[in-house]
Structure 1
């Protein structure tokens, strides 16, 4: 079994920490999971007329407040967006196979693959004026690898056995097992570098990084102020004077604030609001296609969800094109009950199920439910399309004699209660760079985020072996087997792949959104007021 699985946070704990923020699996890994050639990742705003200009305040509306200022404890997309702006990592990865230097300028593996040596960038300072160096890297990684810290980073870096400063600008990482993608893993926001003399208490109150913006003030639950780092090592950046985070929980209120020029950016727009933004000439959209997948958990702890005939019957109830229209306003695409989206190069060619009510009834009869079946299902409006997916599925399942009793749980308690039902809606973004990690976390029987409690020894063995297989052809075959098993027998009903949208004022330019939809604002600039 992959060693790092032992350190994974439980998904329930992870989601409880998120509140109403979007869950983000913030790990990076294998560059082989690149999009297919020619596949666009984002839809950018209209090109700017003129060169970038300095100045301006960008106001960002988030649905959920930021609870954690220490990167070791950051989990929600809002918090990880803060990490992107205030902190930096040794490397940066915006899109698959685009690893770039950040606080490290070069890296090299030992011949046996059991250590990596990184050369660090000279002339970088923290926001408190301290010089950045190797001891800061050692301290930062010792913090997140400490089991008592409970950091997300430990879940995917558990194979790191030691970190050593060789000199002021050179660091060596010792590994218990080779990992050719190790430099990409270090691009995760949860591996952000903090000063060597910063305490847990200090970082909990005030982020201290090397990023383009530095922390200025925070009124919890209301507003956070970040100002330009005047000593940033990329001298021309940032362009903005200031970034403000405003926390507005109500979806319609956020859109009204954007339209009235009270805020400049809305992150994770509701799909039902896209047409309204498109109709407003003062607003623009950025779309990350097939960025998340909502799904229905078929909880193995509640019979008859442990019977694959019943699971198959539920999957056959779904009109997938109808689900795209009903749940995603037509913006989603059809999924085939496994998590690898069309833009992955290693996606297997598994046709999606067609709706087959007659066959669903036959399977239910074989399982002992010829007279029908009643199931309770938890859902919430916490994430875009979760509730819409549940409502559409309720109507589709009715045709096969299955009665779905929907339980609409409060947003603020959903992640603490949703696994107490035979069926529940959930939602995850794709990690475009870590197929191995995503499979191990969510689909291995020991995976911390295996919500349905699904166990399959054959699947476990494949997931364990694929991360250690060096032959590309064999890896591709193993990935195909994994996807087929999940689609055929898995306890996840995945009917659609969904986009995410960010809306902003047209006066803002160069807002970057990657496959994992976090904000990147270091190169963003604003047109001066007329």
Structure 2
């Protein structure tokens, strides 16, 4: 299992080199979107208080390594509050400054220079240097999934130019390189030993007070370069199920139940003392069909399955209406998302015809492998199986333990469910999951035309022209990839009535709690 699974992933697309530079000018670290106050108009943030927040995770999968495999959302939340990435999602631009105050590309779009924010220090008071960042990025790149975390960047392409400037050199022109720094580029002090990670100082808005069995208390970092956070402390509690977390919120044991799912939201709708925060386009739960070999390698078979799905029913039944119909293109929240591509509709007659033309064996029963990692995932597999049976395809849903799934099925299975906790970038998914040499090519897709379109788009500095090329990229994906993306789930948080300023951005943006405060 990779660090980009079950995490709050982000990405960016549609911002050209000029747009990226404009986004950085004068922006303040942590400038993200937050929920409007539910209190009186003109209510001002107040300082103080401890926010108790629940997050999903399993005690058996706890990790303290910022660059390690983080299968628990609770771990990722804790790490994101302690350690800063170079950039983060923004409310007016897809990429906003964080530990990197600004960045600038070379003319050929292969070399990018990132400047460290003024006043950035570690929790022990020592200044952050370019050497710290370089050491951290090289450590990240050298992890087992480092290629997918920093695609196109080799360890030798990460260098310090001076005390505050980090240089990243790409293997190819990449107008969207800053998007690579929005997920796991957590910065540690140079030469931090693996056995010292548990207490290693970070640069984030909160410092570690204590950590116990996946639960943690973090206290405000008064010297944070992004400004003093309102909260005195954040306590993160780990929960193994969304329902247990929702029950704790309804009982007043925690202030926020994060990423709790549609079922819990329906339960809380009658409670006037509970806020329901929805983040559209937050979670993608596609069915992955292996294209390299096996029964789904024929593009006609994949198209037949896409046509056999009743997408409206999937959204209504699996997501309880907390979501939207999708069109088999990942990155629906991207400004350059191809909204004009015709929406696929259910057509059972056409599906049966395509299966017959492909010589698909409808006498067999095919396993669809899924997990119960997130709310609705296994349910989506069951409903999918019911729907495609009407086209003559018999599916047996197999629920696997999470560890077995990620070790044995993910990237290898013929037919399985996947999920991604971000969806704001076409480029993100192209670079990480669909290029022929992508480190996380879930469907084993090898399409030279797609690869060529991607490279051409990334080598185009003009944002308008690049948008046109990315449209072509999406048309190729729509026609032949191994993804069946039937819908997009809303991200849902439940919060007590006193909570203010929770982030409303999807994916990684929702763990930025430096503006959150309590009206009590």
Q: How many corresponding residue pairs?
A: 500
Alignment of structure 1 residues 330-369 onto 2, 5 Å:
330-341=321-332, 344-369=335-360
SS at 2:243's partner residue? Answer: helix
Cα offset, 1:189, TM superposition: 4.2
Matched, 1:404 2:404: no
Matched, 1:126 2:126: no
Cα offset, 1:14, TM superposition: 0.8
Which residue among 58, 70, 89 is the counterpart of 2:51? 58
In structure 2, distance between residues paired with 1:458 and 1:292 = 28
In structure 2, distance between residues paired with 1:444 and 1:511 = 35
Which residue among 196, 206, 209 is the counterpart of 1:202? 196
Which residue among 15, 24, 32 is the counterpart of 1:31? 15
Cα offset, 1:96, TM superposition: 5.9
Quick one: structure 1 residues 448 and 122, their matched pair in 2 at CA, closer, same or farther if it must change by over 3 Å?
closer
**In the alignment, what sits opposite 1:484?**
475
SS at 1:392's partner residue? Answer: helix
Matched, 1:14 2:2: yes
Unaligned runs of 5+ in 2: 20-31
Residues 9-32 of structure 1, C-alpha deviation per residue, up to 9 Å, x if partnerless?
Answer: xxxx317x95xxx24445556525
SS at 2:418's partner residue? Answer: strand
User: Contact between 1:88 and 1:189, CA under 8 Å: does it hold in 2?
Assistant: no
In structure 2, distance between residues paired with 1:435 and 1:400 = 31
Cα offset, 1:257, TM superposition: 0.5
In structure 1, distance between residues paired with 2:282 and 2:326 = 12
Residues 233-280 of structure 1, C-alpha deviation per residue, up to 9 Å, x if partnerless?
Answer: 345x21111111111102221111001111111111121111222221
**In the alignment, what sits opposite 1:426?**
418
**In the alignment, what sits opposite 1:213?**
206
In structure 2, distance between residues paired with 1:473 and 1:30 = 9
SS at 2:297's partner residue? Answer: coil
**In the alignment, what sits opposite 1:458?**
449
| TM-score normalized by the length of structure 2 | 0.86
Matched, 1:190 2:184: yes
Quick one: structure 1 residues 210 and 474, their matched pair in 2 at CA, closer, same or farther if it must change by over 3 Å?
closer
User: Contact between 1:340 and 1:347, CA under 8 Å: does it hold in 2?
Assistant: no
| TM-score normalized by the length of structure 1 | 0.84
Cα offset, 1:294, TM superposition: 1.0
Matched, 1:72 2:60: no
Quick one: structure 1 residues 156 and 429, their matched pair in 2 at CA, closer, same or farther if it must change by over 3 Å?
farther
**In the alignment, what sits opposite 1:88?**
84
Cα offset, 1:156, TM superposition: 5.6
> Which 10-residue stretch deviates more, 97-106 or 441-450?
97-106
SS at 2:335's partner residue? Answer: coil
SS at 1:71's partner residue? Answer: coil
Unaligned runs of 5+ in 1: 1-12, 35-40
User: Contact between 2:10 and 2:422, CA under 8 Å: does it hold in 1?
Assistant: no
User: Contact between 1:364 and 1:372, CA under 8 Å: does it hold in 2?
Assistant: no
Alignment of structure 1 residues 277-426 onto 2, 5 Å:
277-300=268-291, 303-341=294-332, 344-369=335-360, 372-419=363-410, 421-426=413-418
User: Contact between 2:336 and 2:471, CA under 8 Å: does it hold in 1?
Assistant: no
Quick one: structure 1 residues 412 and 42, their matched pair in 2 at CA, closer, same or farther if it must change by over 3 Å?
farther
RMSD: 3.1
Quick one: structure 1 residues 413 and 44, their matched pair in 2 at CA, closer, same or farther if it must change by over 3 Å?
same
**In the alignment, what sits opposite 1:233?**
225
**In the alignment, what sits opposite 2:139?**
143
